[in-house]
Amino acid sequence: MAGSAGREWTTDIVPEGTAPPSRRRTDLIVGGSAAMARVFELIAVAARTEIPVLIMGESGTGKELVARAIHYTGPRAARPFLTVNCGAIPETLMEDELFGHVRGAYTGAHGDKRDVFEEAEGGSLFLDEIADLYPSCQVKLLRVLQEREVRRIGETRTRKVDVRIIAATNKDIRAELDARRFREDLYHRIHVLPIALPPLRERREDVPLLVGQFISQFNHELGRSIKGFSAAAMDRLKTYAWPGNVRELENRVKQAMVMAKGDTVEVESLDMFSGQPPGAGFPPFRKAKEEFVRSYLVQCLRAAGGNVAAAARLAGKDRKDLYDLMRKHHVDPRDYRR
């Protein structure tokens, strides 16, 4: 795709006139709780209209899945779906990522670069973590939403665009408004149909459904034939607080399936996550240190939304050193992107 090298977004494009792609199993939203029934109802309303949507929820609750569901069940399903993480791109690059540039606009601009609105023409643009968008870009985004036109950096003419905007945040957007970190006029533009995703701890009855989905998914990926979790293991999953929400549950199920000795996951496989064998006292010092470092890396990445540079700053470490630690402890920053 022209001008897309190195960008911080992903895309699903379908040739015009063809049916949208079948949804990947990991794209399916699962839930039978009353809280999720409300979410499904709002997704259906959003899909059949062009009304602006703001998806709110903690990290790991599935905000991008909801955005994809709105796009792929609506009239724009056969057109592009693009994602921009507003908190993952440095301020000096964000304007260029959003609005593109023309050749000669600044030193190093050796050719034209299309903006994401042009790339998403006719489809949907998902602005993830929009509360982290820099103030200078908030002003320009507001103009795009008002005028339905974009002007590349260094260009005098504007270009009409037809793109549906879906936004999401894991922050308290009202608090951001009160602190004057987010523009109120932009807020009213995107906050027409709010969809609040409940954390997993508030819909524990959905845990068995989610586990069943992940078992089917990972059996194929891991070459296993796991039938399910034992009653004790399932109780352990249902009573845990899940601070990382569905994403954390997904990772935990996968780990347990890897460690399972038979076709049923027992509590012992879940206990292995702490590095402490069942019935043991204190783990060996080296094992405890490894678990601490891994947990610390996960906390930094979770706080930074999977942005390695930001996580390195939080940890006071060089980015290369942090990458070395992540490789050593098998931590993938992509698992913690919002």
- Calculate helix-pair angle for 285-303, 319-328, nearest 10 degrees: 130
Q: Are 146 and 188 in contact (CB under 8 A)?
A: no
What is the DSSP track for 22-61? Answer: PPPGGG-----SHHHHHHHHHHHHHHTS---EEEE--TTS
Q: What percent of the chain has pLDDT over 70?
A: 83
- Calculate helix-pair angle for 207-222, 245-259, nearest 10 degrees: 50
Within 13 Å of residue 40, how many CA atoms lie on the same side as its CB?
10
Q: Kindly report, residue by residue over 212-265, the tens digit of the pLDDT.
A: 999 999 999 899 999 999 999 999 899 888 888 999 999 999 999 998 989 999
Q: Are 325 and 290 in contact (CB under 8 A)?
A: no
Q: Which helix (H) or strand (E) holds 225?
A: none
Beta strands in the chain (DSSP E): 11-12, 53-56, 81-85, 124-128, 149-150, 159-160, 164-169, 193-196, 228-229, 264-265
Q: Kindly report, residue by residue over 126-155, the tens digit of the pLDDT.
A: 999 999 998 888 988 998 898 888 877 767
Q: Which helix (H) or strand (E) holds 171?
A: none
In the structure encoding, which two tokens stand for residue 295, read together?
A: 């947990």
pLDDT band of 1, cuts 50, 70, 90 = very low
Model pTM greater than 0.85?
no
